[in-house]
Amino acid sequence: MKAVIVGLGYVGLPLAKAASAAGVSVTGLDLSTRIVDGLNSGRSHIDDLSGDDIAGMLANGFSATSDASVISEADIVVICVPTPLDESGAPDLAAVIGATKAIEANMRPGLTVVLESTTYPGTTEEILKPLLENGTRVCGEDFHLAFSPERIDPGNEKYTIINTPKVVGGVTPESTAKAVAFYSQFIEQVVEAKGTREAETAKLLENTYRHVNIALVNEMAQFCFAMGIDIWDVIKLAKTKPFGFQSFSPSAGVGGHCIPIDPNYLAYKVRAELDRPFRFVELAEEINNGMPPYVSRRLQDLLNNHSKAVRGSTVVLMGVTYKANISDRRESPAVPLAKRLLDMGCILKYHDPYVADWTVDGLPVERVTDLEAALLEADAAIIVQAHSEYLGAAEAIGGAPAAILDATGKFSGAKVERL
C-alpha cells in the first residue's frame, strides 16, 4: 500500500512513522522545503520524534517532498494540515482547501482520501467532497473519502498513536472500510462512526469537554483563593471519588493548537447553521482567556505584600511553552501574561529549557539559563509550566529568595504562593 501524508507536523509525522513501521510505503508531502529537507537529512522538528526515529523511517522507505505529483501514485492520502482561526476568530480552512485541490489535481481512480485535521461538522462532505468530485467524479465510485480525527497528545508516553483508539467515519460504507483497513495495520483499535459528521463532532466534543472543565476549575481557583480555600487540596480530595469525577487543574491559561481553537469551530457552525450561540464554549473561552490577566493581578498583589511594585521589579517567567516538557509554544498563555506584565512596567526575563529564544510582540525577552542565580537576583517568578527540570529542583525553587507565584500547584516553600 502506498500512502501520502500531507502536512508533516505534530500530527502527520507520528502517523508517517507508525504507518512506515507497519510496512506501508509512506511519502510525506509538505509545503515547507525547510521541513522536507530536514526530514530527508534525518532531522526531526517535533518533540515526540528523535533523529533516530527519522533515521528509522528513512530506512523503512519514508521520504519527504514538496512535489504534489507523488499523489498520483498513492492508494491513500491523509490530510494533516493546520486548521487555525482567522483574524476575526472564524475557522480558516485555507490549508485544508489547498491540500484538497492538490489531491484533486493529482488523484488516480480508486484513491482513498482521509481528513485528520480538526474541523467543524460538515467539512468533509460540504467542502472536500465537491472539491474532489470537481463535477467529473462521484465519491464512492471514483474515489473514497473519510474523516478520522487525530488524538495525538504531544509528550504523552503512555498513549501513543498505536494504543489510542482511532475513530473513522466515511462518506460511504466503502469509504469507511478503506480507511479502517489502512489504520488497522498499525492502530490497535479502530472505531467506526456512523458518518463523517459524527466523527468530526466527536473530536470537537472531546476538546470542548476539556476546555469547559478547565474553565470550571479556573473559575473555582479564583473564588477559592478569595475565600481562603486551597483549590489544590479541594481537587485532591474530589479525585478520591472513584466514579463520576475526572480531575482538571487550574493554570495560567489554556494553550496549544487544540483547546483554545477547536471549540470555536463548533461554536461557529452552531451559529452559522442554527443562528444561536454555543454558550458553554463562549463562557469557557471568556474564563480561560481571563487567566493570564488574573495571574498578573495575583503577581501584583504578591509583590505588594513584599512592599514592591510590578514597575521596576525583575520577574522571571518559568516555562513559556503551552504545556510541560515539550517545546511547542503555540497559543501559550505565557504570551498574554508577558504582555500584561510588560505593560505594567516590569523587567521581564524567562527561563525554559525547551525554548532557546522567545519574543513577545516582536521584541526579544531576555533568557536566563542559570535558574538558581536568576531567582537570587529576581524580585519574583511565575511558574507557568512545571517542566520536569523544575520538579527535580523543587527544593531549591521552594527555598529561593524571590517571591514565587506557582500556577501549576506543584511547588511549596516559604515564599511560594499557589494559584
Residues designated as active site: 258
Binding marks (x or -) toward ligand NAD, 315..354, rule CB under 6 A?
Answer: ----------------------------------------
Distance CA 309, CA 331 (A): 28
Q: Which of 18, 107, 231, 258 binds ligand NAD (CB under 6 A)?
A: 258
Phi, psi of 53 (to 5 degrees): -60, -45
**Is 257 among the residues that bind ligand NAD (CB under 6 A)?**
yes
What DSSP letter does each residue of 57-73 carry, written as one string?
Answer: HHHTT-EEES-GGGGGG
Nearer to ligand NAD by Cβ, of 6 and 215: the residue is 6
Over its C-alpha atoms, the chain yields an Rg (Å, rounded) of: 23
Q: Which of 4, 7, 107, 379 binds ligand NAD (CB under 6 A)?
A: 7
Helices 291-305 and 196-226, axial angle in degrees (round to 10): 20
Nearer to ligand NAD by Cβ, of 32 and 184: the residue is 32
**Which residues touch 349 (CB under 8 Å, ≥6 apart)?**
314, 315, 316, 317, 365, 366, 367, 368, 374, 378
Among the residue ranges 8-16, 224-232, 351-359, 373-381, the one whose residues contact ligand NAD (CB under 6 A)? 8-16
* DSSP three-state, residue 216: helix
What DSSP letter does each residue of 224-286 carry, written as one string?
Answer: HHHTT--HHHHHHHHTT-SSS-------S---SSSTTTHHHHHHHHHHHHHS---HHHHHHHH
**Is 54 among the residues that bind ligand NAD (CB under 6 A)?**
no
Nearer to ligand NAD by Cβ, of 117 and 300: the residue is 117
Q: Which of 31, 162, 191, 234 binds ligand NAD (CB under 6 A)?
A: 31
Residue list 171-210, contact with ligand NAD (CB under 6 A): none
Residue list 78-137, contact with ligand NAD (CB under 6 A): 80-83, 95, 98-99, 117-118
**Which residues touch 280 (CB under 8 Å, ≥6 apart)?**
208, 212
Residue 326 CB, nearest approach to ligand NAD (Å): 9
Q: How far is CA 147 from CA 7, 195, 198, 228, 295, in A?
A: 16, 8, 9, 48, 39
Residue 365 CB, nearest approach to ligand NAD (Å): 23
Nearer to ligand NAD by Cβ, of 2 and 308: the residue is 2
Q: Which of 4, 5, 11, 324 binds ligand NAD (CB under 6 A)?
A: 11
**Is 9 among the residues that bind ligand NAD (CB under 6 A)?**
yes
Among the residue ranges 7-15, 48-56, 268-276, 304-312, the one whose residues contact ligand NAD (CB under 6 A)? 7-15
Q: Which of 3, 4, 5, 12 binds ligand NAD (CB under 6 A)?
A: 12
CA angle 187, 188, 191 (to 5 degrees): 85
Contact yes or no for 197/169 (Cβ under 8 A) = yes
What are the residues binding ligand NAD (CB under 6 A)? Answer: 6-12, 29-32, 35, 80-83, 95, 98-99, 117-118, 150, 152, 154, 257-258
